[in-house]
């Protein structure tokens, strides 16, 4: 194995980096710091996704009040508050289109070559 020397992000001491351990040395305090940094990162990502998810849900609920599906321009939709990353999980339909799941709704982002624009189709799904 090739060992490279690097400086620990926490204590600044030099240590031999191994695969999967490049930023923090094996010292227990530094491993604790590493764990805390990772959890903070996941928490932040999770919170952003949750905010996007809730925002999307409210937006879809409003738009699909009178219809089961609707296609809207991506940019206009973003202005209304649509967040492309606000979903949990995705499914593929019979035509291999990917639908991102937002509770009772799903959306699919696609590019239309005819007018060279991006659109979003949202639809109500039965769960």
Element (H, E) at 33: helix 28-63
Question: What x-and-dash track marks residues 80-119 binding Zn ion by CB under 5 A?
Answer: ----------------------------------------
Cβ–Cβ < 8 Å for 108, 121: yes
Phi, psi for residue 57 in degrees, rounded to 5? -60, -45
Q: How far is the CB of 28 from Zn ion (least distance, A)?
A: 9
Closest C-alpha to 30, from 8, 3, 4, 6: 8
Number of residues in contact with Zn ion, rule: CB under 5 A?
A: 6
Cβ 79 to Zn ion shortest distance, Å:
46
- Chain positions 5 to 34 lying near Zn ion, rule: CB under 5 A, are 8, 10-11, 25, 27, 30
Q: Taking CB under 5 A as the criterion, which residues in 30-69 touch Zn ion?
A: 30
Dihedral sign for Cα atoms in the order 114, 125, 51, 89: negative
DSSP 114: T
Residue whose CB is less far from Zn ion, 34 or 108: 34
Please report, as ranges, the residues that interact with Zn ion according to CB under 5 A: 8, 10-11, 25, 27, 30
């Amino acid at each position: 194995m090739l060992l490279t020397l690097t400086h620990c992000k926490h204590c600044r001491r030099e240590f031999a980096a191994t695969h999967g351990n490049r930023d923090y040395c094996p010292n227990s305090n530094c491993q604790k710091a590493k764990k805390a940094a990772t959890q903070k990162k996941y928490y932040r990502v999770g919170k952003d996704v949750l905010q996007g998810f809730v925002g999307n849900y409210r937006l879809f609920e409003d738009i699909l009040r009178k219809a089961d599906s609707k296609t809207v321009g991506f940019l206009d939709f973003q202005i209304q508050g649509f967040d492309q990353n606000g979903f949990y999980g995705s499914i593929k339909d019979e035509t291999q289109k990917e639908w991102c799941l937002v509770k009772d709704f799903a959306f699919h982002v696609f590019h239309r070559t005819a007018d060279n624009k991006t659109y979003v189709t949202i639809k109500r799904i039965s769960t």
